[in-house]
Structure formats: C-alpha cells, structure tokens
Amino acid sequence: MDISRREFIKLVAAQSAAATAGVLFPGISFGAWEKLDLSSGRIKWKKTPCRFCGTGCGLLVGVAGGRAVAVKGDPNCSVNKGLCCVKGYHSIQVLYGKDRVTEALVRKNDKLVEVPLKEALDLVAAKMKETIKDHGKDAVAIYGSGQWSIPDGYVASKLFKGCIGTNNVEANARLCMASAVTGFLTSFGLDEPMGCYDDIDHADVFITWGNNMAEMHPVLFSRMLANRKSKGHIKIIDFATRTTRSSQASDKSILFRPQTDLAVANAICYEIIHNKWVNWDFVNKHVSFHKGKTNIGYGIEDHFKFKDKAETVDFEQFKAFLKDYTPEKVEKISGVSAQDIKYLAALYGNPDKKVTSFWCMGPNQHTRGTWINNLIYNIHLLVGKISTPGNSPFSLTGQPSACGTVREVGTLTHKLPHGVVMKEKARQLAAKIWNVPVTNIDPKPTYHTVEMFRALDRGDIRLMWIQATNPMVTMPNLNRYRDGAQKEDRFVVVSEIYPTPTYDIADVVLPSALWIEREGFFGNSERRTQHNEQLTPTPGNTMCNSWQLIEVARRLGYEKQFPWGRETHIEDIWNEYIQFHDNPKHRMAPYKVLQARSGVQWPFVNGMETKWRFNPKYDPAAKGEGFDFYGKPDHRAWIWLRPYEPAAESPDSEYPFWLNTGRVLEHWHSGSMTRRIPILHRAVPSSYVEINADDAARLGIVNGSKVKISSRRGSVKMPASINGRGIPPKGMVFVPFFDEKHLINEVTLDAFCPISKQPDYKKCAVKVERG
C-alpha cells in the first residue's frame, strides 16, 4: 500500500484506538476500518512502561531511524488496556529537549564547565575516597529516586551499604511513599498492596481518600468511570480537603478539614460497630488489636528520634477508644456532617457491596501518615473487605518505580533488598549475595531524607550524590537545605538529564541516559515489574545511572563486586537481585519472562502471577482457610488504636491560611521533563495559587493577580487562580510544585510522620496578601 507519511500516521492512530476499543469492549466492530493494512514496517513498535506516574501504563513506542516518533497505549498491558493519559502520549518528546545534558560538567571557578566523562568520574571517585578518609564512611551519601530504574537502586545500595559500609542511602520515595510502607508493615507485616488494579473491575463502591485520581492517576480513574458507565450502579465518593476534577466527576464529594481524616476514619469504625456491621467471622479469625504511643511529635527539630511500641489490646478496648469518635463529635472536629460520616460507614458496612478505597499523597504526606494508613485498613478489616476481588484498601504510589526500586530493592537507610539492616539474618544474606564481609554492613540506620539534608547542612555529611531527582525544588523548608548544600566543604554530584535548580548547585554533573535510552525495569503500584529494552541511542556521552555507579565503584576498588560487562549488566544485575526475593512471598519473574510480557506481578510462583495476596485462593504463600496474613507472627492483620492529633502547624492570627501543595495532570513532579514538552508546558505554563472566591474577594484579589504567600520560612509570589480546576475551601490555598520559577517549598514545613519520617506537604500555615 503506497500512502503518504501523514496518512500512515493517521492509520496508526486509528488502529491504536480500534485496538484499545477491542480490549475494553470485546467483540466491538468498526466495519471496514479494522482491515486496513499497517504492515509497511516503517515504524517498529516496542513495549515499555511509561516514564511518569506510578500507575505504570504499558506503552508502545514507535521507533524509526533511531528516533522515537510516536506513542500508543499497549493493549497487551492489563494496567491501561491501550489507554494512556496526556503525559504518556507526549512522553517521548522528553528525550529531545534542546538543552539536554549530554556531557559531563565540573565546577571550576564557580562555573560548570564541560569535561571528558572519564575526568568527571575520576573526580567523583577521588572525592569519595578523600571524604571517607578525612571524615569517615558516614560522610558520603547517595540520594536516589522512585524514578530510578531497579538496577540503579540496586547497585547504589550494594556500593554504599555493602562495599563502603554506610547506610546513607535514601530516595525521594521517602517524600511520597514512606507512610504507605510503615502503614503496611504495622498493619500486615509486609509492604505493598494485597490487591491489584483488577479490583477496579469488581468493586461496587470507590472511596478516594485525599486523592485527586482524575489528575494524578488518570488512566485508573478512566477505568473507574468506564466501569460506572457500563454497569450503572457503581458509586465513586471523593473524600478530600479541596474540590478537584475528581470531585466533579464523582457521585459525591465530601470535604474535611485538614488532618481530621484521622477522626473521620475512627468515626466510620464507631458507626460500623454501633450498627453491628462488623464481620465477626473475619475479625475473630484474622484480626488482632493493638495500640501504640500517642502525642508522638512532629520531627521539626534536628536529631529527632521516635520509636513506637505496640501493646496488644482487645476488641472491647478498641470499642471504648472509639467512644470519643461518635459522628456527632467528629462533625465538630472535621466539618464533615454526621450524616455524611454515617453514609460512608454504611457503604463500608453494607455486606452486599464490594468497596475499594484508594489513596496516595493525601494520607501519606501527613504528620500522622502511618496512622491514617492504619485507620483505613481498620475500616476494611472490621468489615472483612480485603484481599478479595473488588474489596481492597489500595495505597497507590506516585512514581513509576517507587515500589520497584525503593520499596522492593530497599533504597532507604534502614533497608536491604530483603529485610532491614538491624537484623543479622538480613545482613548475612546481603553479604553472601554481594560477596562482601558481613561486617561491612552497618547494623544501625543513619539518616532518613529530611535528616540527611540536615546532616549535609550541619556538615555531618560532606559529599552527596543525587540521581534522578530534583531536591532543590522538592525538599520542604527548601531555603535551609539549599543553603546547607552550598556550604564550603560540601561536594554535590548530580546525575541529570536537564539543567535544574539541583544541577545549579552541583560540583559535578554526570549526564544520564533517560528511560528508553537504556535497558531497565520499573515496579508499579500493583506489584507489577515491567521491563524495557534500550530503544533509542544514548545522546552524547550520556550513561545510565547504574553504569555511572559501577564506574565509580570500580575506581574505589570494588571490581570484584561489580564484574559485569556493559552489554549484559542489566540482565546480570537482575539475576543477582532476584536471589534476595527467592521465596513464595516475594518471588520475582525471571528476566526472560519480563522481557516477553507487558509486566508481571509478584509473587511469581510456579509460572503464575499473584493478584490477591493473603488469600489462599490466589496466593501460594497463604495457607489454611479464608485468609492468612502471614506477614505478622500471629498470622493476623492488626487493627490499631490511633487517635486524632492536630497538625504540626495550624493557621493562627498571623498566618491564617492552610497551605496545601501537589501536582497537576500535565506536569510530572518538579517539571524538569514535562516543562520541556511544548504541549504540556503550554497547557500549564506556570504555577499559580488556587484561592477560594470568598477569600479572594475579601483580600481584593482577582483571577490572575499577583499574590504573595508567606510562612515563617519563606515567601513566594504567583498569580491567583479563582474557580479554576481546583477550588480550595475558605481558609485554604493550594499551589502545584512543578514550577522552578515559583519554589513553593521555600514556604512549606519540614515536619514529618515520626514513624515513617515522611514530610507533610499538605499542611502548614501561611499568610496571603496581594503581591
């Protein structure tokens, strides 16, 4: 068939839509269009996970002449079944920004100048040696990312924890997922969701907790809407602190005052018990009750320490604890009417309805993040709605491999790829697989992310290597950490793809290969590991983050631990890494299987994926009747007594507004990639502050006028948005953080959950003035 390039692309576009429709509506027919021939071979289509959010959509990238030229959703990927969002469709353009970093740079006379890559790698290794010699092994640190490919995080952990012997390994997932992890560990003893996205196709009710899925997980939200449309009876309830696109598309929007989700969750449990909706069969067999410490602080001071202590209690004590949380009492705290609390409880309590709860940053970026995760589990556990299709408390992840690289590989100070550094058995296993003396692995964790940047400021850490993340936009209370990173005697290495505010403070910049310019793996929110091969050539002297680490490791004398060849190292790393998870609770799929499929869910046992954990019908590790919560020594899931405690900083007469921060659909995190994609940049070219129309009128602010937002830590000026895509209630403003021209994190507070150490980006007190 001889057709023009334009006609060809249109045909591909049409066929892509037809293929997607075929997955969503089996048997659908479009007549003659489907028979159009696309076998011209001009474009080769290759699978990859999307580079952006934690949904983990499968993409097919069209490659022609060594360049990625088009994107379509992968109909073979069960995550998105051929659909994609606007970020996914434009993702390949991120490879081709004009100011791509393609050469190494070293700061000389206060200017970054291009140098041969070898010289930069030599310098990084020399500086690491010198710093360790002068200040000890805990003076060097690596700060990575939930956007690291799995091998990157794995070699970083092996180098720093196994070889150098420091636990100074952290990743930005501490800022987005740590409370989810501690929530899972405290309630179930094992990390990551028990359910999967198939829950969307089985649930009757969806309750989203502080989670704007329409913008943050748009493909999953579309799946919910498609189910509602085709089935008719499905309800979506948006429970949040501001009105968003998700609220608008939901059947009901319920707003609560910041931090009071804790009280509402307890009130839902109160109502479930009060109305005798408890699933006693489930509770008696599979649940135990516990309480921990209270008044646990906020971590605002340096060297803050906290350790929780679990005490076993019984159901009667739980019931007595809930007396403070009657719907009427909680209405006063939360602003949610008693009627709406009862409505939510009735949805959870109805034995004929399957309920899935979704949440992401709202409950996680919370000074009581672990607690609110526990409390949502409490609700599901009381009614036994868990680990079965459609009944799912589902903690979504933000980044494409926060689960894969950070939670599974364990790139956090206290973690190893299997287990924690404090446990001797875990250290022994790591030492054996890593081929290092067990004494190399320090049994004491060092710094979580906020404390790591405080240590850099104080001078306890002198050298930090940052890969695949942009902390000079994303750290809360940013002024302190930027000043700290630039102090004399601090040495910052940044592996980057574009100039960013983090690049601006670097002493060495290493040019990184991006996403499909290298082979790698991501792990998404539903325990799905996804492989991509290298699809396009690496530009200039860019190098994948794994190989940068290996080059430096070898210069430090660890050739024996990093023996792999450049061509095969990703496969070799995978084969070594999966030895850590070689048990039925967490077995990962072999390399060849991942190469062939559009993602595989772990545990992968006897050639089968596990869709629902803890349920013997689906999970080979679960034993016995009904359910087996084998992560806990008592084989039960734990209900926790967790009270409502106020936020670290609340509005007062001087700073009378809540500041809430977050993202928008079009931009990925700090915007360093999506702001270089013209269509996305033009859709939302700069940040803004959402303000309620009544507050704006009172302050004389109109749409677009400059507004100054200040806290005790800093201030920023930006245009106002009134009745835009998000509408905060009176007394709250919302600012997206993607824009390096308006650094809202100079205003935010570095308070964190004392258990997870994850900062709360959703609540601090600010003043709002005409700018």
Q: Which is nearer to ligand SF4, 214 or 556 (CB)?
A: 214
Q: Report the distance separating Cα 620 and Cα 605, nearest Å.
A: 7
Nearer to ligand SF4, 91 or 512 (CB): 91
With beta carbons less than 8 A apart as the criterion, state whether 447 and 413 touch: yes
Is residue 85 within the footprint of another protein (CB under 8 A)? Answer: yes
User: Among the candidate windows 128-136, 138-146, 525-533, 676-684, which touches another protein by CB under 8 A?
Assistant: 676-684
Q: Which does 681 bind (CB under 5 to 8 A by kind): another protein, ligand SF4, none?
A: another protein
Closest CA to 336 of 346, 328, 324: 328
The residues in 214-253 that bind another protein, with binding defined as CB under 8 A, are: 222, 225-226, 229
In the list 50, 61, 84, 360, the residue contacting another protein (rule: CB under 8 A) is 84
For ligand SF4, give the closer residue by CB, 52 or 629. 52
Cβ–Cβ under 8 Å, residues 155 and 546:
yes
Q: Sheet containing 355-359: which strands, arranged edge to edge?
A: 252-255, 235-240, 205-209, 355-359, 392-395
Q: Which tokens hold the place of 546?
A: 């794994």
Q: Give me the least distance between CB of 601 and another protein, in Å please.
A: 24
Restricted to residues 54-93, the positions that interact with ligand SF4 (CB under 6 A) are 55-57, 80, 84-85, 87-88
Q: Which stretch binds ligand SF4 (CB under 6 A): 48-56, 274-282, 373-381, 675-683?
A: 48-56
Is there a contact between 97 and 91 (Cβ–Cβ < 8 Å)?
no
Per rule CB under 8 A, is residue 35 in the interface with another protein?
no
Q: Which of 58, 393, 499, 726 binds another protein (CB under 8 A)?
A: 499
3-state secondary structure 455-468: HHHHCCCCEEEEEC
The one-letter code for the residue type at 716 is: V
Helix/strand/coil (H/E/C) assignment for every residue in 85-146: CHHHHCHHHHHHCCCCCCCEEEEECCEEEEECHHHHHHHHHHHHHHHHHHHCHHHEEEEECC
Nearer to another protein, 259 or 672 (CB): 672
Strand-pair partners of 207: 237, 357
Stretch that binds another protein, among 25-33, 386-394, 586-594, 727-735 (CB under 8 A): 25-33
From ligand SF4, another protein, none, which one binds at residue 33 (CB under 5 to 8 Å depending on kind)?
A: another protein
List, in order, residues 6 or more apart from 309 with CB less than 8 Å away.
292, 293
303 binds another protein (CB under 8 A): no
Question: Tokens 């995190």 label which residue?
Answer: 669
From ligand SF4, another protein, none, interface partner of 108 (C-beta below 5 to 8 A by class) = none
Omega of the bond prior to 603 within 30 degrees of 0, cis?
Answer: yes
**Cα(376)–Cα(479) distance, integer angstroms:** 35
Q: Which residues carry out catalysis?
A: 87, 176-177, 361, 398-399
Q: Which does 537 bind (CB under 5 to 8 A by kind): another protein, ligand SF4, none?
A: none
Q: Under the criterion CB under 8 A, does residue 3 sit at the interface with another protein?
A: no
Q: Nearest to residue 493, comparing CAs of 521, 520, 456, 522?
A: 456
**Interaction of residue 369 with ligand SF4, rule CB under 6 A:** no
Question: Is 218 near ligand SF4 (CB under 6 A)?
Answer: yes
Please report how close the Cβ of residue 101 comes to ligand SF4 at its closest, in angstroms: 23
Task: Please state the closest distance from residue 91 (CB atom) to ligand SF4, in A.
Answer: 7
Say what angle helices 261-274 and 338-349 make with each other, to 10 degrees: 60
Q: Tokens 């068939």 — which residue?
A: 1
* Residues at the site binding another protein, with contacts judged by CB under 8 A: 6, 9-10, 12-14, 16-21, 24-25, 27-31, 33, 62, 69-73, 82-86, 89-90, 93-94, 96-99, 222, 225-226, 229, 498-499, 671, 675-679, 681-682, 685, 740-741
Query: Which positions touch ligand SF4 (CB under 6 A)?
Result: 50, 52-53, 55-57, 80, 84-85, 87-88, 218-219
